[in-house]
Chain A
Amino acid sequence: MLAQLDKVSKRYGRQWALNQLSLDIAEGETLLLTGHNGAGKTTLLRLLATVMRPTHGTIQIFGHDSKTDYEQIRPAIGLLSHQNHLYNQLNAFENLELVAKLSGKSTENIPGFLDEVGLPSKGQKVVAQYSAGMKRRLAIARMLVRQPKLILLDEPFGQLDPGGVEMMEHFIQRWQEDTTLLIATHDIERGKKLCSRHLHLEKGQSVCP
């Protein structure tokens, strides 16, 4: 098992965003995550990304406990969410260069990655001047630099033009070959087409879709 959640609950004040959720994620599978707003999709992804800790229960990822050994888990996790983790005052290349150097990856391929997502590699424009779709593309390129083993996508088709959606689908299919994916989306039709398993969340618990 790549990740195991054992009776995981997450509380925000008086709300339980996740309610004793148990889940096994096998290596190589693509899991579709659906549910209404507030059903716990984003919470689940953020817990798996180890940026948040569960209130109760345990999460094991690659055999490490997410509460204590997050430093071992994080290099292998890619999170794509509406918070794109980009520095507004750096340009595309500088953003990726920082990520590559900090995670000990080569910077040689960066122009190629930028090319793949359709961004100019020589551009001096800083991220603050980018449109939402361009930021999303740069966030995808960030993922290409990092090469994570577990990719968590929160609303991957949002903020993208039709060309961008097509590109996103292309990357998801490519990642499926050698990584494990979790895709949270409202676009159930598109999601079903791409995913091997479907998990529907309601009030922090999984129900049969």
Chain B
Amino acid sequence: MKLLTGKIIPIIALGLLFAGHYIGLFIAPTERMMGDVYRIIYTHVPAAWICLIAYTLTFFASVYYLFRNKMGADIFAEASAEIGVMFNAILLITGSIWGKPTWGVWWTWDPRLTTAAIMFFAFIGYLALRRFINDPERRATWGSVVAILAFIDLPLVWYSVKWWNSLHQLQSTPQTVDAAMVTPLRISAFAFLFLYIWMVQVRYQIGVKRLEQEQALPNPIAQGEQS
């Protein structure tokens, strides 16, 4: 088990990452409309997927915590949110880099991009809040509440931005993708997934250690009987 989490998963992740990006950058055909710029999707799109998966798991772990009060669920929620924020940052940066040559602007108020930016701040807020609560149980409860509300808000943001923009619809991302482009995309997606699993594992263990640091042993030692 330790070998699997400590060595094998990161090796698989890095191998797939290399393979996916190699095929994506050098073998996959050039896109007709956008040229070579489109190749950033091999980082951008998997980052978006994994980011959403990470936040979704944070949401479910938070709900689970509120029902069961298991500290493990909260540690996982935080770990997943932190990795999610990292992928979210990659998503925003690659999105901007892609946007400049494609749309001529660094930033556009497209529903997806806007939602990505807002969820970045929502989960930054979640992580920031946790730094200011000393009691682990209170931190877990309040953190869970904030994570749940932030996650429920994502579809609302998406819909409202979509409606907001409906009058002057901006360019959407091309939907027709060549099969030769899909394969490296899938490989990259799995690479990011394994990266996520590995990082969450490590971050979870750090979280467990931190909690041990913060808290006394789970069972106080009985020193005598009461009078």
A binds B: yes
**Residue A174, interface by CB 8 Å:** no
**Residue A4, interface by CB 8 Å:** no
Contact check, B220 vs A9: say whether CB atoms are below 8 A apart. yes
Q: Give the CA-CA distance A84 to B53 in the complex, in Å.
A: 47
Contact check, A206 vs B227: say whether CB atoms are below 8 A apart. yes
Contact check, B214 vs A14: say whether CB atoms are below 8 A apart. yes
Contact check, B226 vs A15: say whether CB atoms are below 8 A apart. no
Interface flags, A4-24, vs B, CB<8A=1, else 0: 000001011111100111110
**Residue A199, interface by CB 8 Å:** yes
Q: Give the CA-CA distance A8 to B94 in the complex, in Å.
A: 54
Interface flags, B168-209, vs A, CB<8A=1, else 0: 000000000000000000000000000000000000000000
* B216 partner, pick from A16, A23, A205, beta carbons under 8 A: A16
Contact check, A19 vs B215: say whether CB atoms are below 8 A apart. no
A68 vs chain B, min Cβ distance (A):
12
**Residue A207, interface by CB 8 Å:** yes
Residue of A nearest to B218 (CB): A56
Q: Give the CA-CA distance A200 to B227 in the complex, in Å.
A: 9
Contact check, B220 vs A13: say whether CB atoms are below 8 A apart. no
**Residue A208, interface by CB 8 Å:** yes
Interface SS of A by simple majority = strand
B214 cross-chain contacts in A, Cβ below 8 A: 13-14
B35 cross-chain contacts in A, Cβ below 8 A: none
Contact check, B227 vs A11: say whether CB atoms are below 8 A apart. no
Contact check, B134 vs A13: say whether CB atoms are below 8 A apart. yes
B222 vs chain A, min Cβ distance (A):
5
For the complex, count residues of A whose C-beta is within 8 A of B.
22
* B226 partner, pick from A9, A203, A205, beta carbons under 8 A: A205
Contact check, B135 vs A13: say whether CB atoms are below 8 A apart. yes
A23 vs chain B, min Cβ distance (A):
7
Contact check, B219 vs A56: say whether CB atoms are below 8 A apart. yes
Q: Would you give 26 A-B contacts (Cβ < 8 Å), ordered by A? A: A9-B219, A9-B220, A11-B220, A12-B135, A13-B134, A13-B135, A13-B136, A13-B215, A13-B216, A14-B214, A14-B215, A14-B216, A15-B216, A16-B220, A19-B223, A21-B226, A23-B226, A56-B219, A56-B220, A200-B227, A204-B220, A205-B223, A205-B224, A205-B226, A207-B224, A207-B227
Given A15-B216, A19-B220, output 13 extra A-B contacts at Cβ < 8 Å. Answer: A11-B216, A11-B220, A13-B134, A13-B215, A14-B215, A16-B220, A19-B223, A199-B227, A203-B223, A205-B223, A205-B224, A206-B226, A209-B227
